[in-house]
Amino acid sequence: MTDLKNDAILKTLRGEKTSYTPSWIMRQAGRYLPEYRATRKNAGSFLELCKNTDFATEVTLQPLDRYPLLDASILFSDILTVPDAMGLGLYFVEGEGPKFKHPLTDESSIQKLDIPDIEDALSYVFNAVRSIKVALNSRVPLIGFSGSPWTLATYMVEGQGGTDFLTIKKMAYSRPDLIHHILKITTESVSKYLALQIDAGADIVMIFDSWGGALADNEYEPLSLNYMKVIIHNLNLMGYQDTPKIIFTKGGGQWLEKQANSGADALGIDWQTNIGVARKMVNNQLTLQGNMDPSILLSTPKAIEAAAKQIIDDYGYGERHIFNLGHGITQFTPPENVQCLLETVRSYSTQFHN
């Protein structure tokens, strides 16, 4: 790790001082970039792009080439690769979210669920990590990631993302044995998956809990947070205690105190949570990552500057903050607005880092 030319995010994750607030952007390699759209056209589908080492490397590097102010890269992949490796058949319909061809619709398919041979089934991911690390040539750290067990389970049971989650919640309340079986298998698989990403070169790992915020207050810990904790614990037991771990429950701002005790080094924060309030909730003990509403990037430079400064002011401190959006950047973002954001964060944040 020490050979990185830019280790601002690693320092921030360890609570060390930096000269500015570092930044990266969720989904920074994506459809808002014309160069991404060109590569995607050559690659074919989104999944073909993920599975092709050269293309995945190319698009991962694109935002770094365009925006030298970015302080991290993130593996170009999907949060749902693990259930795909379990045989559920991940596919994408243009304009809709990811879906599974073979969701877990009955008890027997759930009972048959087993930990796949991650190393073999997801070799394309580890190949991409190795290739990206070579291409990065130590410019910035590389973030590896997975979906959280609960989030994976929602797609595995519902067959797709959504807003109501009636099928999986009905299962969770009626047959807790079944849901916990899925979550346990998934937790062990994700642990192995992230370990292998680190082996391949990932400097940081992040767990995206996209749908944890849909859970009831007293179900969030047993169904989502506790399994993320187990992954962190597993990674530490396997010897990866020095690799920083970030968890992000979208819609989970009210549970930050609970998340602070997860063993994670950093927590993602969405835009519904004031980052100054969040800092108090975690008692300054963890790094916070966030939290601008991605829709602001659709507006004007003036509004973007004001919103970025507001977040930095709200955080009000020169340590343990990684600037990011509160969700992935939208495909409709004008690329020049990202430059405006990154310049604002870099120049405005230095005053807090003396």
Q: Is 279 a catalytic residue?
A: no
Distance in angstroms (rounded) separating the CA atoms of residues 101 and 149: 19
Residue in 4, 298, 317, 335 binding its own copies, rule: CB under 8 A: 298
> Does 6 help bind its own copies (rule: CB under 8 A)?
no
237 binds its own copies (CB under 8 A): no
Q: Pick the binder of its own copies from 109, 236, 330, 350 (CB under 8 A).
A: 330
Alpha-carbon gap, residue 187 to 151, rounded angstroms: 11
Please tell me whether residue 94 binds its own copies under the rule CB under 8 A: no
Using CB under 8 A, which of 14, 17, 37, 170 touches its own copies?
170
Told to check if 260 binds its own copies by CB under 8 A, we report: no
**Half-sphere exposure in the Cβ direction for 332 (13 Å, CA):** 5
Query: Which H, E and C letters describe 266-310, residue by residue?
Result: EEECCCCCCHHHHHHHCCCCCEEEEEECHHHHHCCHHHHHHHHHH
Is residue 4 close enough to count as binding its own copies by CB under 8 A?
A: no
User: Among residues 307, 325, 340, 345, which is the contact residue for its own copies, using CB under 8 A?
Assistant: 307
Catalytic residue list contains 346: no
Check residue 121 for interaction with its own copies (CB under 8 A): no
Number of residues that bind its own copies (CB under 8 A): 37
Distances (CA, A) of 79 to 175, 224, 241, 307: 26, 15, 22, 28
- Contact criterion met (CB below 8 Å) for 340 and 296: no
C-alpha torsion sign, points 71, 76, 80, 83: negative
Residue 153 binds its own copies, judged by CB under 8 A: no
Query: Minimum CB separation from its own copies for residue 7, in Å?
Result: 30
Residue 266: CB minimum distance to its own copies, A: 19
Distances (CA, A) of 70 to 21, 123, 168, 339: 11, 28, 38, 10
Closer residue to its own copies, CB minimum distance, 143 or 341: 341
DSSP letter at 329? P
C-beta of 272: minimal distance to its own copies in Å?
6
67 is catalytic: no
Q: Does residue 251 belong to the site contacting its own copies (CB under 8 A)?
A: yes
**Active-site residue, selected from the candidate residues 7, 71, 78, 270:** 78
Q: What's the min distance (Å) between Cβ of 143 and its own copies?
A: 24
- Of 87 and 335, which has the nearer Cβ to its own copies? 335
d(CA 80, CA 46): 13
User: Helix 176-200 vs helix 123-136: angle between axes, to the nearest 10 degrees?
Assistant: 40
- Rounded to 5 degrees, φ, ψ at 300 are -110, 155
Catalytic annotation present for 78: yes
Phi, psi of 37 (to 5 degrees): -60, -35
Burial tier of 300 (Cβ tally within 10 Å: 0-12, 13-18, 19+): exposed
Residue 316: CB minimum distance to its own copies, A = 14
Find the binder of its own copies among 98, 141, 147, 253 (CB under 8 A).
253
Q: Is 332 in the site for its own copies (CB under 8 A)?
A: yes
Which residues is 146 bridged to in the sheet? Answer: 207
Contact flags string 186-225 toward its own copies, x per CB under 8 A: ---------------------------xxxxxxxx-----
166 lies in the binding site for its own copies (CB under 8 A): yes
In angstroms, the CA 221 to CA 102 distance is 28
β-strands 73-74, 142-147: how paired?
parallel
> If you compute the radius of gyration of the chain from its CA atoms, what whole number of angstroms results?
19
Residue 299 lies near its own copies (rule: CB under 8 A):
yes
Is residue 40 annotated as part of the catalytic site, yes or no? yes
Active-site position among 32, 40, 84, 193: 40
| Sites of contact with its own copies (CB under 8 A) | 163-166, 169-170, 173-174, 213-220, 251, 253-254, 271-274, 277, 292-293, 295-296, 298-300, 303, 307, 310, 314, 330, 332
Which residues are known to be catalytic? Answer: 27, 31, 40, 78, 155
